[in-house]
Amino acid sequence: MKPIQVGLLGIGTVGSGTYNVLTRNQQEIRRRAGRGIEIAMVADLDTARAKSLVGEGVEVVADARAVIANPAIDIVVELIGGYGIAKALVLEAIAAGKHVVTANKALLAVHGTEIFEAARAKGVMVGFEAAVAGGIPIIKALREGLTANRIEWIAGIINGTTNFILSEMRSKGLDFATVLAEAQRLGYAEADPTFDIEGVDAAHKATLMSAIAFGVPVQFDKAHVEGITKLQAADIRYAEQLGYRIKLLGIARRQEGGIELRVHPTLVPAKRLIANVEGAMNAVVVQGDAVGTTLYYGKGAGSEPTASAVVADLVDITRLHTADPDHRVPHLAFQPDALADTPILPIEQVRTSFYLRLVVADEAGVLSRITTILADLGISIDAVLQRESAEGEQQTDLIILTHETIEGRMRDALAKMQALPTVLAPIVSLRKEELA
Amino acid sequence: MKPIQVGLLGIGTVGSGTYNVLTRNQQEIRRRAGRGIEIAMVADLDTARAKSLVGEGVEVVADARAVIANPAIDIVVELIGGYGIAKALVLEAIAAGKHVVTANKALLAVHGTEIFEAARAKGVMVGFEAAVAGGIPIIKALREGLTANRIEWIAGIINGTTNFILSEMRSKGLDFATVLAEAQRLGYAEADPTFDIEGVDAAHKATLMSAIAFGVPVQFDKAHVEGITKLQAADIRYAEQLGYRIKLLGIARRQEGGIELRVHPTLVPAKRLIANVEGAMNAVVVQGDAVGTTLYYGKGAGSEPTASAVVADLVDITRLHTADPDHRVPHLAFQPDALADTPILPIEQVRTSFYLRLVVADEAGVLSRITTILADLGISIDAVLQRESAEGEQQTDLIILTHETIEGRMRDALAKMQALPTVLAPIVSLRKEELA
């Protein structure tokens, strides 16, 4: 049988990885898929560079629409990124009856509902394994491997740049700005790292996972997003003393009355496997009611790891494109007519425990006033660490770990504590998850 | 649409878990699968107990063949175990045109070729996610998630009983027999634990993974199998001092000229995530040429974790049973006509590094004679640890870590070292894997 014909839109890092993997492992992939998979056409504005990357037999064009218009192309792989032209091209490819594979988490987290509906109406598939956690087959695990389960929560290190920065801050005791500069020099962070360090990229991925886990539409606009730019080396040290590590987690959790969807720096017990995921690696923990805790670990970015996910989708489509569309795996794991309207909860209603660091005057009665505020709001304390003040110092660090509470209540407590004259600096407040 | 009708053969631990999960999560599962999944019939010799476990609407019979003969049953779930009657029933179910789901690793590792061929000829599916690593969707990851890759190796903690025993031996400094008795008391080890502690169960699972990873037939008879019964507390301690933990690993590795397939206690660097998998948990590391290192972690046994995998297979079959059989995912990941005859290598040809513990006379020249034997055979030394002998002692422990070599060559070296008059006791030799 003639190999299935693939057209690439964009041949940057992931595109060239996809070409290389498909070429190098073509025999192995054909033995699995029962049919060859071949990149027949590539669209890239830099046609000279594109030509230098692919073999003689591949047609290179500057115009992406020429790929979509080519009737010989079965699957279009969108690797342009962003919400703009990528969205138009994905919708046009679907309209032209092409199956689509994309690594574009931003596009799907924001416009997924429109795109999946267009694909359903046209009877084509949209594969997006590469959009979350690079080469780790987490979309497949959630969508197919854990179908027996009522998923309770997901917590993932799903941005390699920030995990690299946090690992370096901890192991070398450096501050954020210094490590960010190093990460940029090493190529782990982009020249404009905003999407990574502000948590936006992780929130795109958490949004996709929340939809698949709970059977709700993608709702990126409802996600609570905090990055790591304000994180201080002192808090990483104190967390470590208390048996915790700080990781930027994307969390989606089923909660009474709704779903939590949030990205923020999080204290995690140091003994958990996920706390020991270092450098640019990714890992996702999934808690299901039947299976219990499972974890998936691997490279979350990079040319060939991401290509591994793109090609897995190509093989899935090659195997399944002749199947009755109603019996394929639904894009968001649940049948389109079975999505729920469970709300995404505002951050004030999120349940979590907290790490607080207060700079307080070193005098009698300070701890009592603070603990009274917490007690009055029903927030119970798990541990207190008071640094002994140095000779002649008039202030000291007071660290408090709380038990679980509602975020809104903690905000009240923070406002009251901040107003105390003996609290001498802005209180640092970080969320803590036991992941047990 | 009428729910798909499932018949259970055997309702023990996993069977009752399957019934409970399907009942409790029936709405969620229907929302995913697009169709209900219902246990309509159960066969178990203890019909009274079976009736007490399932609802009114489920027909309970003593004769498994009545389930297979029932034309209303779409899928037969075999949870009897073993090679005997289970084999006959699986083949009869296939002959009757039923899809089959089984957790029976022993059956498939030994008779898989016959069973998968019968299923292919009849156009039915045999799901066996539950046969390896319980609830971890590792079969799906290997068979579908990593299809882009040339798999290089797999190393897994795939037997919870032995991992529990090894964890306890290490953390409490106890010997094997003491911990085994405790594991039996706690229900982590069976009354007859032979299959677990001798590595047979892990070898069944490693055999299945090797076939899926490398596109070869299942060949349990070629696997090299060693258990943990001879492991001594002293070696766990020495390994720890050298930065290693001892785990019972199932390993399948692509090697020049063939495939390594082996189960044995293995030293693993303590800093690897898999070295930190404790208690009855399972984890599998997969190394692919494109994706790099990935790891999958979760509960490898138990009622509902295993049921999670059984039900995932039921959902897959519900989604795919109307698809053209030629386009379904092949049982062994590779198309049946594309399996390779790459040989499984005899253990003498396996490449690995070693941990050696020699009890030697405390006198000059001992180390030199030993290192000369190793050097003459081209085995290079990575580290040496010589315990200082206690006052008045005439002997001491000498620990040697080697670099990678061929097992056959190490066997020659062991025979020569053992023959030295200054080597006073049988040499302990354990394999070591860096998993890098």
Q: Where are the beta strands (DSSP E) in A279-368?
A: 281-288, 292-299, 351-361
Given an 8 Å threshold on Cβ–Cβ distance, is A323 in contact with B320?
yes
Please check the confidence at residue A223 and state whether its pLDDT lies above 80.
yes
Check residue A325 and give its pLDDT. Answer: 80
In this complex, the residue of B32, B273, B289 whose CB is nearest that of residue A147 is: B32
Tokens of A180: 């960010």
The answer to whether residues A19 and A106 belong to one domain is yes
Measured between beta carbons, which residues in chain B are less than 8 angstroms from residue A148?
A: 21-22, 25, 29, 307-312, 315
Instruction: Scan for tokens 């994307």, then name that residue.
Output: A250
The active-site residue, picked from B205, B222, B299, B432, is B205
Number of domains in chain A: 3
Pairing mode, strands A405-406 and A351-361: antiparallel
User: Of chain B residues 231-270, which have a CB less than 8 A from chain A?
Assistant: none
Tens of pLDDT, residue by residue over B300-340, are: 999 999 999 999 999 999 998 887 787 789 999 999 999 99
> How would residue B358 be classed by pLDDT, with cut points 50, 70 and 90?
very high
Q: What angle is formed at CA B172 by the lines to CA B169 and CA B174, rounded to 5 degrees?
A: 50
Given an 8 Å threshold on Cβ–Cβ distance, is A141 in contact with B146?
no
The answer to whether residues A117 and A58 belong to one domain is yes
Measured between beta carbons, which residues in chain A are less than 8 angstroms from residue B310?
A: 148
Helix, strand, coil percentages, rounded to 5, for chain A: 40, 25, 35
The answer to whether residues B174 and B282 belong to one domain is yes
Rounded to whole angstroms, the maximal C-alpha distance in chain B is 83
SS3 label, residue A59: strand
The answer to whether residues B14 and B128 belong to one domain is yes
Check residue A388 and give its pLDDT. Answer: 77
Other beta carbons less than 10 A from residue B237's beta carbon: 13
Mean pLDDT estimate for chain B: 96
Please name the residue of chain A whose CA is at the shortest distance from the CA of residue B275. A273
Tens of pLDDT, residue by residue over A279-338, are: 999 999 999 999 999 999 999 999 999 999 999 999 999 998 887 787 789 999 999 999
B12 is in an annotated binding site: yes
To test the contact with chain B by mutation, choose from A28, A39, A214, A328 the residue with the greatest count of B C-beta atoms within 10 A, namely A28
Tens of pLDDT, residue by residue over A9-43, are: 999 999 999 999 999 999 999 999 999 999 999 99
Given an 8 Å threshold on Cβ–Cβ distance, is B294 in contact with A33?
no
Q: Give A123 to chain B, closest Cα distance, Å.
A: 15
Kindly give, in sequence order, each residue whose CB lies less than 8 Å from that of residue B210, ignoring residues fewer than 6 positions away: B154, B216, B218, B219, B252, B259, B261, B344
Please report, as a single letter, which amino acid is at residue A215: G
Residue A298 sits at the chain B interface (C-beta within 8 Å) = yes
In this complex, the residue of A149, A304, A319 whose CB is nearest that of residue B329 is: A319
Check residue A389 and give its pLDDT. Answer: 75
Measured between beta carbons, which residues in chain B are less than 8 angstroms from residue A327?
A: 34, 319-323
User: Of chain A residues 346-405, which have a CB less than 8 A from chain B?
Assistant: none
- B167, part of any domain: yes
Q: Give B295 to chain A, closest Cα distance, Å.
A: 5
B10 is in an annotated binding site: yes
Helix then strand count (H, E) for chain B reads 15, 17
- A345, part of any domain: no
Residue B35 sits at the chain A interface (C-beta within 8 Å) = no
| ipTM of the prediction | 0.97
Tens of pLDDT, residue by residue over B15-45, are: 999 999 999 999 999 999 999 999 999 999 9
Check residue A202 and give its pLDDT. Answer: 98
> How would residue A358 be classed by pLDDT, with cut points 50, 70 and 90?
very high
Instruction: Scan for tokens 């766990």, then name that residue.
Output: B236
Tens of pLDDT, residue by residue over B220-247, are: 999 999 999 999 999 999 999 999 999 9
Check residue B324 and give its pLDDT. Answer: 78
Closest CA to A133 of B312, B292, B121: B292
Check residue A269 and give its pLDDT. Answer: 98
CATH number at residue A361: 3.30.70.260
Q: What whole-number percentage of chain A has pLDDT above 90?
A: 92
A135 is in an annotated binding site: no
- A243, part of any domain: yes
Please check the confidence at residue B390 and state whether its pLDDT lies above 80.
no
Please name the residue of chain B whose CA is at the shortest distance from the CA of residue A137. B145
The answer to whether residues A333 and A227 belong to one domain is no
Check residue B325 and give its pLDDT. Answer: 80
Please check the confidence at residue B296 and state whether its pLDDT lies above 80.
yes
Q: How many CB pairs under 8 A join A and B?
A: 235
Question: In angstroms, rounded to a whole number, what is the distance separating the alpha carbons of residues A51 and B354?
Answer: 48
Residue A148 sits at the chain B interface (C-beta within 8 Å) = yes
Please name the residue of chain A whose CA is at the shortest distance from the CA of residue B293. A298
Given an 8 Å threshold on Cβ–Cβ distance, is B327 in contact with A290?
no
Check residue A392 and give its pLDDT. Answer: 80
Please name the residue of chain A whose CA is at the shortest distance from the CA of residue B305. A291
Stretch A265-292: mean pLDDT: 97
Given an 8 Å threshold on Cβ–Cβ distance, is B297 in contact with A298?
no
**Which of the two residues, B6 and A56, has the higher pLDDT score?**
B6
Lowest mean pLDDT among B69-73, B133-137, B322-326: B322-326
The answer to whether residues B362 and B277 belong to one domain is no
- A344, part of any domain: no
Q: Give B370 to chain A, closest Cα distance, Å.
A: 39
* CB A352, CB A433: distance < 8 Å: yes
A15 is in an annotated binding site: yes
Given an 8 Å threshold on Cβ–Cβ distance, is B294 in contact with A136?
yes
The answer to whether residues B56 and B203 belong to one domain is no
The answer to whether residues B100 and B183 belong to one domain is no
Q: Give B202 to chain A, closest Cα distance, Å.
A: 20
Check residue B327 and give its pLDDT. Answer: 79
Closest CA to B183 of B279, B277, B250, B322: B279
DSSP state of B145: I
CATH number at residue B97: 3.40.50.720
In this complex, the residue of B21, B322, B328 whose CB is nearest that of residue A290 is: B21
Please name the residue of chain B whose CA is at the shortest distance from the CA of residue A285. B297
- Could you confirm whether B205 is annotated as catalytic? yes
Tokens of A1: 């049988």
**Burial state string for B218-233 with b = 16 or more CB within 10 A and e = fewer than 16:** bbbebbbbbbbbebeb
Tens of pLDDT, residue by residue over B260-288, are: 999 999 999 999 999 999 999 999 999 99
Rounded to whole angstroms, the maximal C-alpha distance in chain A is 83
To test the contact with chain A by mutation, choose from B29, B32, B327 the residue with the greatest count of A C-beta atoms within 10 A, namely B32
Residue A313 sits at the chain B interface (C-beta within 8 Å) = no
Check residue B69 and give its pLDDT. Answer: 98
The answer to whether residues A119 and A183 belong to one domain is no
B105 is in an annotated binding site: yes
In this complex, the residue of B292, B304, B329 whose CB is nearest that of residue A305 is: B292
End-to-end alpha carbon distance in chain A: 50
Tokens of B144: 């579908």
In this complex, the residue of B24, B144, B276 whose CB is nearest that of residue A276 is: B276
Other beta carbons less than 10 A from residue A134's beta carbon: 29
DSSP one-letter string for B325-368 = GGGSPPTTSS-GGG---PPBPPGGG-EEEEEEEEEEESSTTHHH
B271 is in an annotated binding site: no
Pairing mode, strands B37-43 and B4-9: parallel
- A343, part of any domain: no
Tens of pLDDT, residue by residue over A82-114, are: 989 999 999 999 999 999 999 999 999 999 999
Check residue B55 and give its pLDDT. Answer: 85
Check residue A395 and give its pLDDT. Answer: 92
Tens of pLDDT, residue by residue over B393-434, are: 889 999 999 999 999 999 999 999 999 999 999 999 999 999
Question: In angstroms, rounded to a whole number, what is the distance separating the alpha carbons of residues A273 and A167?
Answer: 14
What is the residue range of A9's domain?
Answer: 4-135+303-338
Stretch B113-129: mean pLDDT: 97
The answer to whether residues A108 and A155 belong to one domain is no
Question: In angstroms, rounded to a whole number, what is the distance separating the alpha carbons of residues A91 and A96?
Answer: 9
Tokens of B225: 């199998």
Given an 8 Å threshold on Cβ–Cβ distance, is B290 in contact with A299?
no
Please check the confidence at residue A55 and state whether its pLDDT lies above 90.
no
Residue B307 sits at the chain A interface (C-beta within 8 Å) = yes
A177 φψ region: left (φ > 0), alpha (ψ -120 to 50), beta (else)? alpha
Tokens of B92: 């009869």
Measured between beta carbons, which residues in chain B are less than 8 angstroms from residue A130?
A: none
User: Of chain A residues 84-113, which have a CB less than 8 A from chain B?
Assistant: none
Check residue B407 and give its pLDDT. Answer: 98
Q: What Cα–Cα distance (Å) separates residue A369 from each residue in A83, A382, A419, A425, B279?
A: 50, 17, 11, 16, 44
- A332, part of any domain: yes
User: Of chain B residues 201-220, which have a CB less than 8 A from chain A?
Assistant: 215
Measured between beta carbons, which residues in chain A are less than 8 angstroms from residue B32?
A: 147, 215, 330, 333-335, 338
- A179, part of any domain: yes
CATH number at residue B202: 3.30.360.10
Q: Where are the beta strands (DSSP E) in B158-291?
A: 224-225, 244-255, 258-269, 281-288
The answer to whether residues A145 and A128 belong to one domain is no
The active-site residue, picked from A205, A222, A247, A299, is A205
> How would residue A408 be classed by pLDDT, with cut points 50, 70 and 90?
very high
Residue B173 sits at the chain A interface (C-beta within 8 Å) = no
- B343, part of any domain: no
Residue A151: what are its φ and ψ, rounded to 5°? -70, 130
Check residue B254 and give its pLDDT. Answer: 97
Residue A171 sits at the chain B interface (C-beta within 8 Å) = no
The answer to whether residues B322 and B398 belong to one domain is no
User: Of chain B residues 278-297, which have a CB less than 8 A from chain A?
Assistant: 288-297
